[in-house]
Chains A and B, each alone.
Chain A
């Protein structure tokens, strides 16, 4: 069973710092390949903090870690840093708007037993 989510990208200084040290480090992957979700949304998917969630739309599919928000409830909304992971899911319907939908990424989310999508896999997708 899945639920619909709107993902909004945001800046995180820790992820930035990790990316500055190395885009290829496990630290950068850990801080990028995660999604901050509403508590009730996680309950609906049977997810506990830190478990894997699959995010899928017509652009791509990735598996990331679900992190429970410490903010007020925001059902249906989730947050990811801008990174090669979130960019997998950003639509290509730019036309005359030229600004991609970095803050309106619509996906289907479901619990996943698969491992987190790693950077090597994303690089492979870029080559094909």
Chain B
């Protein structure tokens, strides 16, 4: 291309932008609506400009007075790049050299943007009628080095210009801090050591040291590019941290619906032997299954009938069977078990050598059997015969369900069952019943686990948007830290007795399906203050949650979860997404959460986590898998 044909690169364009302040030469454009552009002229020393061109029809007089009250009902139209020859009318554009801009201020719910010259004057300001200026700010941050002003948190100072006074001083401060010389390491590591205990204070302390120097001394030193980059990154990070706290200028438009108050649901008495017998007729059939389940949900099962009742809950026995039919069933199941057991027991060495899948499965089971509840008397010690039974049941299950086979965690699910039944065949069939309820936890593609984690996030977001938003901002919206809870139903967090009490409650499917997710929500609700006060990120949250093992009072958690369930179902704003999870009929009038379009990068940039409204929306819209 010939050189005299000036090339222009449009970095950003946005329509529907009203201009409310402009330099004197462009005064005729005031209060017109048009397109805002960020352009680059690669062949010119006038490298980057903010441009604005009028939309011919313009003057939207309605807008003049109301300014920013035009809310984002209009669909956004944006493009982020594109190279084209200069259009002839370009000369008519309002054009401001980026070098003349020293700062910009965002206001009116991110719908107004004002560029300033650094001498106290506004160069131009724009109102974004289509959506807001988040996209533009993202682009500006990409091409300029910016820092949030210490005096006004809505103001971004541009550091790109070498002559910028704030920039000069920052240069100097880094030189004085001597971060690149040996002594600095002591300071940095001291800081790092302090950090885990009081991350926020440590950060602020460190930065006050920098900023103290920043505003002293006029001497000018140049940074080398490496220092400059690092400084830039650090400033960006501060900026992202601090902007999340600024929202006082904005007004809340949406009202965040509140949940009804949390009520107390004290636990009841466990199902007793007498109650159990009373609920069976002379033939041994259980008439009112729901009544039995309700008692169990409220208070669990007494240890003297637990073994028998579990067989019903886990579909080994049938609720509506007479004693005679039951006996018949037991006999059948017994035979079936030994047929399957014989299948793997009679595998020859050569067969095994030629059967990689089987061999691998066997080796996994061997390894895990040796690592299952060995601290319990029932499984303790070398050559404990119960370990052999555990092994035999898992091997037989692998034959019973070869597609699933054996996956880590299954031995945890079997252990309490075997401990209670103390009988190989009964334990096997009860284990089958349990696995039928949770086999999706062990999907090859982890789909079942992913879905539960996502549901857990949806519930958390509904119950506590602020916390869900916190998790989102700390890379934890994936809820992976609850993985172990869900995979083995809290087996690793509770004592053998407590896990049995929890499981029997969960097996009743009362008060709703997926009640185990509400158990998670209840525990998280108890822990969230610690997580948030310490500003824990993904790793610390994971560690904290793992460390809860052994410190969870399961009765308290169950009754709290029941209370939360009632809060949720009584909520006026109950969404279909939540209804689906807890098994209520959907209404079809609320949208099921899905907002793949909402770009987390951009919303993260400007949302202000301290307000309920924004956290509520964020929490609802951030999908993660």
Say whether A and B bind each other: no
Chain A positions near chain B (C-beta within 8 angstroms): none
Chain B positions near chain A (C-beta within 8 angstroms): none
